[in-house]
């Protein structure tokens, strides 16, 4: 018989509720800390969500952030943020910086004349410097993007809840979506705490997290539904434990292979997609954790109606649709 790698024993009997006030309670504490970081520190909005212009510069000389800042702040601009970009793929003489010049106090976009002065000031500081990319977003467009992004995440969550309600039970839908929001909010809290740039690519990552995380949760819920029919007298807590144990190997295999792929992007993908890759990486970790320790706990707290219901012969019943 050929040897096969197993990330978990063929049969496990782990009590995932044994330390629920540590695992589930820890998740609730992380949620609170995420909201505190979000409210107190705020998000480091990228150019997509904050009107202004971002310049990407390259030079064979070492980036002198202090000199760059002094040259730009001498001009009539708003906030200035300068970040040196590090990437293992850069050559030894390739020094890259991201320079964001925000909109002025009147809420207008940075004018082209002022941008020309910024470019001239940078070149004066380093004659070998080149501006290789430039991106401008007006404040009106950026504020609309914020609300559109919130709406996208909200509608996606409601759509997932509606599907799970039709596919399973409303308690599972409610618990599953709360577990999804747990993943999203903690990820946003991490971005707020470490002040990682938050732009439209991160919104795409959050939507990806919603899709990935609910996939894991649905697998557990599907096995739970089968076991509820099979073990009608077994306590709900024990049925949930059994369901998670039976799907544990699949959950670990899916998560670890996904983390390997996303980890490669995080290390070798470059600075342009590093924020996106980091958000996906954290989302996969949190999504796996919430599928095992959060979603089922919420369903257990809400409770399930395990009374026998009369079977319907109508083949159009949503609950009988295979997905």
Task: Tell me whether strands 52-59 and 130-137 are parallel, antiparallel or unpaired.
Answer: antiparallel
Alpha-carbon span 210 to 180, nearest angstrom: 6
Q: Average pLDDT in the 167-174 region? A: 84
Residues facing 82 on adjacent strands: 99
Checking 75-83 for CB contacts under 8 A at 24+ apart, the result is: 75/114, 75/117, 75/118, 75/121, 76/104, 76/114, 77/101, 77/102, 77/104, 77/110, 77/114, 77/118, 78/52, 78/102, 78/103, 78/104, 78/105, 78/110, 79/52
pLDDT of residue 109: 65
Which of left, alpha, beta for 45 (phi over 0: left; psi -120 to 50: alpha)? beta
Residue 193 has pLDDT above 90, yes or no: yes
What architecture is the 52-137 domain classified under in CATH? 2-Layer Sandwich (3.30)
Q: Average pLDDT in the 120-133 region? A: 90
Name the most confidently modeled range: 78-92, 96-110, 199-213: 199-213
Q: Sorting pLDDT into bands at 50, 70 and 90, what band is 316?
A: very low
Token pair listed for 264: 């490669």
Report the Cα–Cα distance between both ends of the chain, in Å, rounded. Answer: 33
pLDDT of residue 139: 60
pLDDT of residue 103: 62
Q: Where do you find CATH 1.20.1640.10 in the chain?
A: 20-43+142-305
pLDDT of residue 82: 84
Token pair listed for 197: 């740039």
Token pair listed for 228: 């509820």
Alpha-carbon span 295 to 178, nearest angstrom: 7
Nearest to 72 by CA among 131, 157, 133, 141: 131
pLDDT tens digits for range 238-254? 999 999 999 888 888 88
Strands (E) across the chain are located at 44-45, 52-59, 80-85, 95-102, 130-137, 197-198
Q: Average pLDDT in the 121-133 region? A: 90
How is residue 60 annotated by DSSP? S
What architecture is the 20-43+142-305 domain classified under in CATH? Up-down Bundle (1.20)
Placement of tokens 């609950």 in the chain: 319
Residues facing 57 on adjacent strands: 97, 131
If one counts every other C-beta atom within 10 angstroms of the C-beta of residue 45, the result is 19
Q: Sorting pLDDT into bands at 50, 70 and 90, what band is 7?
A: low
Q: Where do you find CATH 3.30.70.3220 in the chain?
A: 52-137
Alpha-carbon span 158 to 115, nearest angstrom: 43
pLDDT above 90 coverage of the chain, percent: 21
pTM: 0.74
Judge contact between 213 and 291, C-beta under 8 A: yes
Q: Sorting pLDDT into bands at 50, 70 and 90, what band is 3?
A: low
pLDDT of residue 309: 47
Q: What angle do CA 251, 255, 261 make, to 5 degrees?
A: 155
Residue 191 has pLDDT above 90, yes or no: yes
pLDDT of residue 201: 86
Residues 6+ apart with CB under 8 A from 124: 71
Q: Average pLDDT in the 298-316 region? A: 63
Residues 6+ apart with CB under 8 A from 189: 30, 31, 33, 34, 35, 36, 37, 38
Q: Average pLDDT in the 52-73 region? A: 88
Q: Give me the chain's average pLDDT, please.
A: 83
Residues facing 55 on adjacent strands: 99, 134
């Amino acid at each position: 018989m050929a040897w096969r790698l197993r990330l978990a024993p063929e049969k496990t009997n782990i009590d995932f509720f044994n330390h629920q006030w540590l695992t589930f309670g820890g998740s609730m504490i992380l949620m609170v800390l995420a909201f505190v970081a979000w409210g107190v520190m705020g998000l480091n909005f990228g150019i997509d969500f904050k009107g202004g212009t971002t310049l990407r510069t390259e030079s064979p000389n070492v980036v002198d952030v202090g000199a760059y800042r002094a040259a730009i702040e001498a001009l009539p601009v708003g906030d200035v943020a300068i970040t040196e970009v590090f990437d293992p793929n850069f050559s030894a003489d390739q020094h890259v910086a991201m320079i964001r010049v925000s909109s002025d106090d009147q809420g207008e976009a940075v004018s082209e004349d002022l941008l020309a002065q910024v470019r001239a000031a940078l070149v004066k500081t380093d004659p070998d410097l080149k501006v290789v990319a430039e991106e401008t977003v007006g404040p009106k467009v950026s504020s609309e993007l914020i609300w559109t992004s919130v709406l996208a995440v909200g509608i996606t969550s409601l759509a997932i809840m509606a599907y799970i309600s039709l596919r399973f039970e409303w308690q599972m839908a409610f618990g599953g979506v709360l577990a999804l929001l747990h993943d999203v909010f903690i990820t946003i809290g991490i971005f707020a705490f470490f002040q990682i740039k938050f732009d439209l690519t991160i919104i795409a990552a959050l939507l990806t997290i919603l899709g990935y995380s609910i996939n894991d949760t649905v697998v557990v819920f599907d096995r739970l539904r089968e076991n509820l029919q099979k073990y009608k007298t077994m306590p709900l807590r024990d049925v949930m434990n059994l369901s998670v144990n039976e799907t544990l190997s699949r959950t670990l295999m899916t998560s670890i292979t996904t983390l390997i792929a996303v980890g490669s992007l995080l290390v070798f993908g470059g600075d342009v997609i590093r924020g996106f890759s980091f958000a996906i990486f954290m989302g996969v970790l949190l999504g796996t954790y919430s599928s095992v320790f959060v979603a089922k706990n919420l369903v257990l707290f809400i409770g399930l109606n395990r009374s026998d219901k009369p079977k319907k012969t109508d083949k159009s019943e949503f609950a009988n649709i295979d997905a």
